[in-house]
Chains A and B, each alone.
Chain A
Amino acid sequence: MAGTTLLDGGFTAPVFQSQAAFRLVMDAMAQPGRIVDLGHAVQPPAPLEPAAAAFLATLADYDTLVWFEDSGADTAASWLTFHTGAAVTRDPSMASYAVLSQNSPVSSWRNFAMGSLSYPDRSATLLLPVESLRDGTPLTVRGPGIETVAVISPRGLPDGFTETMAINVARFPQGFDLLMTCGSELLALPRTTRLVET
């Protein structure tokens, strides 16, 4: 349900809608694996989905660069810039937020900012769309934010995903943080979260 023009489809009550979206994103980040629903407060052009678009509408602005993996995302990029002020970059290493495509080749993820040992916060957050957050192969996750273990069941993960995430965890405190999205829903796997295939 894309907006009819670039001017449409943003938050209609940005102060309160972005606050509500942020609290859900913060909940997701503080409880890795927990699925939150950001709703349909924004209607972005493809390939942006509602959850990724709500996240970017909440957190991106002219202090953050956004990178799109999909080379046909010009309309979505223009929409994002109009509604947030965020500029789009072609250089993945410069991106604060990376909008990945389904089945994104994980070997390219090493190009994103991982921060430094002194400033590990200067690192990218990846938005990875998947076919489903609920009916895929179960993966057990552990780490801060999780009382014992949690189980996530995403479907449509890229090849080599669990190996790449294991390398990312081993890189701590450097690394990227990953948000998995499907439609209006999102779950977070910050760099502290360890995946165990079951």
Chain B
Amino acid sequence: MRNPSLPAYNFAYLDEQTKRMIRRAILKAIAIPGYQVPFASREMPMPYGWGTGGVQVTASILGPDDVLKVIDQGADDTTNAVSIRAFFAKVANVATTTRTADATIIQTRHRIPETPLAHGQIIVYQVPIPEPLRFLEPRETETRVMHALEEYGLVHVKLYEDIAQHGHIATTYAYPVKVEGRYVMDPSPIPKFDNPKMHRSPALQLFGAGREKRIYALPPFTDVVSLDFEDHPFTVQRFEARCALCNAQEVYLDEVITDDRGGRMFVCSDTDYCETRRSKGSQVGGLPQHGAAKADWEAAE
């Protein structure tokens, strides 16, 4: 008999049978790095575009001792990140943080934190389209055969068409990677700037696609290589500017509009990284505070 003072949902929202099914999928995903394990995605109390795959993965691994961080485009304070964090604070009564270094689980949409992840941490990616071959071959039966037979020529053709058209590989986010020399994998719509952070990361990386019902994973210290060509090697975006708030360089910057006369500046996309640097004294004086309207130039999910 249920105590009427207790909430009407299970710990972390999902029922135990669903958690077991997702946990089994996660273990197979870890055993077969880069391979997309099908799972029976559940309806969640939020729209698909809000990362229901990532939410289901997080709900299935989360325990009462975890400390959860949720980011969206690098920021902890967007509506999406705040909502998901509040959801888990309520349904799992779990501690939350904005500090990358303090988190045991980081759920993310579109970025990998600048602070290097540590052994023992888990990063959960929200994935809209898990199939890296989907834009080249819409039929699931065909892409499954292509993965089975390692027929990845089409991906290279697509990248090479970029070169023919633009003189360089124009893909800047969701840039495909090859895992342990076997599976071609979509890293989710992170900027290709973040791709090198996946390679041999000491953290466990889990990917959840709710609408497409797929889970995949990268164990720690797994080889993750961005696809490229000998004459056109993979390169990340480079920013000429430094962060206008904390003076950081070699980080991913967002262009921010500062006034209605076209004034602009570049600031860290990773708000925790920027704030931590500023609190340690890396301030740049006399500039507006972070939080102005972000130029949303990366394609949204």
Task: Please state if B63 and A192 are interface contacts (CB–CB under 8 Å).
Answer: no
* CB of B25 within 8 Å of the partner chain: yes
B261 to chain A, nearest CB (A): 52
Chain A binder among B14-22, B131-139, B155-163, B251-259: B14-22
* CB of B204 within 8 Å of the partner chain: yes
Name the residue of chain A whose CB is nearest to the CB of B66.
Answer: A23
Q: Mark A50-67, 1 if CB is under 8 A from B, else 0.
A: 000000001111011000
The number of residue pairs between A and B whose CB atoms lie closer than 8 Å in the complex comes to 105
Task: Please state if B11 and A145 are interface contacts (CB–CB under 8 Å).
Answer: no
A145 proximity list for chain B (CB < 8 A): 30, 219-222
Interface residues of B in 21-74 (CB under 8 A from A): 21, 23-33, 35, 37-38, 60-64
B224 to chain A, nearest CB (A): 10
Interface residues of A in 4-19 (CB under 8 A from B): 14-16, 18-19
Task: Please state if B149 and A121 are interface contacts (CB–CB under 8 Å).
Answer: no
* CB of A173 within 8 Å of the partner chain: yes
CA gap between A146 and B26 in the complex, in Å: 18
A190 to chain B, nearest CB (A): 4
Chain B binder among A26-34, A40-48, A73-81, A156-164: A26-34
Q: Mark A122-145, 1 if CB is under 8 A from B, else 0.
A: 010100000000000000000011
Binding site for B on A (CB under 8 A): 14-16, 18-20, 22-23, 25-26, 29-31, 58-61, 63-64, 96, 116-121, 123, 125, 144-147, 172-173, 177, 190-192
Binding site for A on B (CB under 8 A): 10-11, 16-17, 19-21, 23-33, 35, 37-38, 60-64, 144-145, 147-149, 180, 182-183, 202, 204, 218-223
Known A144-B180, A144-B218, A144-B219; further 12 A-B contacts with Cβ < 8 A: A16-B11, A19-B61, A26-B61, A29-B27, A58-B20, A59-B27, A96-B24, A121-B28, A146-B221, A172-B182, A173-B35, A190-B30
